Amino acid sequence: MTNNNFPIANFLDSKSLSNENHEVNSSFSAPRQNHFSTNDSFNKVELSEIRLEILRSIQKFVSTEKFDAFFANSMIIESVNSNEIVFCIASEFNKKMILEYYFELLKNSIQEVLKKEYQIKFIVSGQKSSSNAATVEKSKVEISNSESTYTINKAKTVKNMSFSINDLRPKTEEVMSGINSKYIERTQTPKTFHHVIDKKKTFESFVVGPSNNLAHASATAVSTRPGEVYSALYVYGGSGLGKTHLLHAIANKLLKTKPSLRIDITSANDFMSEMIDAFKNKDIVNFRKRYYENIDVLMIDDIHMMKDRSTTQNEFFHVFNELQRRRKQLVFTSDKEPKDITGLEDRIKTRLSSSLVVDIQQPDFETRVAILKQKATEENIYIPDDVIDLIASNVKSNIRELEGSLIKLGACASVFNIDIDLEIAKEQLKINPDNHQKTVNLETITKTVSKYLNIPVADIRSSARKKEITLARHISMYFSYYIGRFTYVQIGDYFGKRDHTSVMHGVNKIKDLQKKDTDFSNKLYEIETQF
């Protein structure tokens, strides 16, 4: 329905056009009454009023946040002729969102206001022309349930090249670059330097799950009684799983409870660089004195980087022996167990293996969800549960990447002033919705478990009670509930018409096993990665 005060019908009926210079009101306000020409060529005031009527039609079906982001503050009409309407859109992102999710709504609104069907074209504000032609580089996008092919004009028109105050605002490419840089910054491996302790990395902010509970408990013990419980702690695991977080958590706890201790956090590369500088400056005596006498807790990140560095290994060997003799605390992290690091001298492997060696595995689904919720709270970012589940289902092996995805969505929500939903999350994180759907299929989940455990699907879905079959069934139920997001009733129907309480028992049994048995938790992760 259009505003009764606005004579849209006169667009095609009126014989005259006022020559008065009208001021175009950029805000979303009530239109003025005008008389319009018989053809479809309109002046700026008329185009503005057409836009306002189209916006009114769209506004009824779109949330306020998305209406402001994608339409009211983003879209203007460039021109209307006999069979074509051209819109100027603020960004490629907005254009893509309109094409994928709001195109039919826009098309219907145009038809409602102008009483006929138009071919729709888009141009994106701020894109430069690569030739002298008015428009360049066109691509066609087929819109489903439509007889027409709609052309998206990616280039800027000559008409658009005039300067306005809006040109002083950051371009869309710059905004998106800033959002992407937040993601890259969060996902990159951080550099650790002497005495720089990250106050945010504490035991309280470390999410504990089956994949890291032993490492967490060991680090907590070291922070409580440094040099007494375990004189050396060695934590290994893949990149981005929380090893460095534990180093800083130990340091933060010691700073709070034992502030007199002298703590040094460094990396293997920094240790080597410091040693090289000492040799160059003929100051190796002071280098050794600092490590031998002036450190109570030494933590070295990425110790495996000392491989193939014989001089560095020699100095480290003496530092290790001297600090251990003085009953000081040593903590190391690496991507491998000591015995698996090639290029490391046997005497160094022996020293490192004498430490308490614990590993951190990839986090399971529940832990990933907990990590995302914790980080969302820390960063004051609101992300719906279904989006959290989407990220946790698609980013499986790296906490840094998990957090980076969350930070990127938070930046997107802030910059575009919109609420993040599944569609926006999939677009921004480049998640293929078809691939995600494969992971939430009851049959696919059961087949994956069947293949991994070598137990037929028919047996898993049957009433058989053999121990190995029951375990496979419970694992399938667990993934169906937490990964597939199916209800207990739906899962029970699929697995032999079982009661929902039976499904609940099976899911809880797997959760308990996962918490108690690290090897079992690792097997669950291996199964999940095959979805």
Sequential DSSP letters for 289-335:
HHHHHS-SEEEEE-GGGGTT-HHHHHHHHHHHHHHHHTT-EEEEEES
CATH of domain 439-528: 1.10.1750.10
What pLDDT score was predicted for residue 128?
38
Q: Count of residues for the chain?
A: 531
The percent of residues above 70 in pLDDT, for the chain, comes to 77
pLDDT digits (tens, 9 = 90+) for 476-506: 999 898 878 788 999 999 998 899 899 999 9
State both tokens at 405: 């995805």
- Answer CATH for 213-360 from 3.50.50.60, 3.40.50.300, 3.40.640.10, 3.90.1150.10: 3.40.50.300
Looking at residues 186-196, what average pLDDT do you find?
A: 51
**Do 213-360 and 8-168 fall under one CATH topology?**
no
CB 199 within 8 A of CB 303: no
In angstroms, what CA-CA distances link 59 with 72, 109, 472? Answer: 9, 10, 50
The percent of residues above 90 in pLDDT, for the chain, comes to 37
CATH of domain 8-168: 3.30.300.180
Q: How confident is the model at residue 154 (pLDDT cuts 50, 70, 90)?
A: very low
Looking at residues 239-247, what average pLDDT do you find?
A: 90
CB-CB neighbours of 408 under 10 Å:
21
Q: Domain segments of the chain: what residues?
A: 8-168, 213-360, 365-429, 439-528
CATH of domain 365-429: 1.10.8.60
Q: How confident is the model at residue 192 (pLDDT cuts 50, 70, 90)?
A: very low
What pLDDT score was predicted for residue 157?
33
pLDDT higher than 80, residue 213: yes
pLDDT digits (tens, 9 = 90+) for 244-303: 999 999 999 999 999 999 999 999 999 999 999 999 999 999 999 999 999 999 999 999
Average pLDDT, the chain: 78
State both tokens at 525: 């992760």
CB 86 within 8 A of CB 41: no
CB-CB neighbours of 4 under 10 Å:
6
What is the rounded distance in angstroms from the CA atom of residue 378 to the CA atom of residue 359? 26
Looking at residues 348-364, what average pLDDT do you find?
A: 92
Q: How confident is the model at residue 457 (pLDDT cuts 50, 70, 90)?
A: very high
pLDDT higher than 50, residue 147: no
What pLDDT score was predicted for residue 152?
31
Burial-class residue 423 by CB neighbours within 10 Å (0-12, 13-18, 19+): middle
What pLDDT score was predicted for residue 196?
76
3-state helix, strand, coil in the chain (%, to 5): 55, 10, 35
State both tokens at 266: 């460094």
Q: End-to-end distance of the chain based on CA atoms, in angstroms?
A: 48
CB 372 within 8 A of CB 394: no
pLDDT higher than 90, residue 422: no
CB 323 within 8 A of CB 291: yes
pLDDT digits (tens, 9 = 90+) for 290-345: 999 999 999 999 999 999 999 999 999 999 999 999 999 999 999 899 999 999 99
Q: Output the pTM of the full model.
A: 0.56
Looking at residues 354-381, what average pLDDT do you find?
A: 88
* Contacts of residue 44, Cβ cutoff 8 Å, sequence gap at least 6: 22, 24
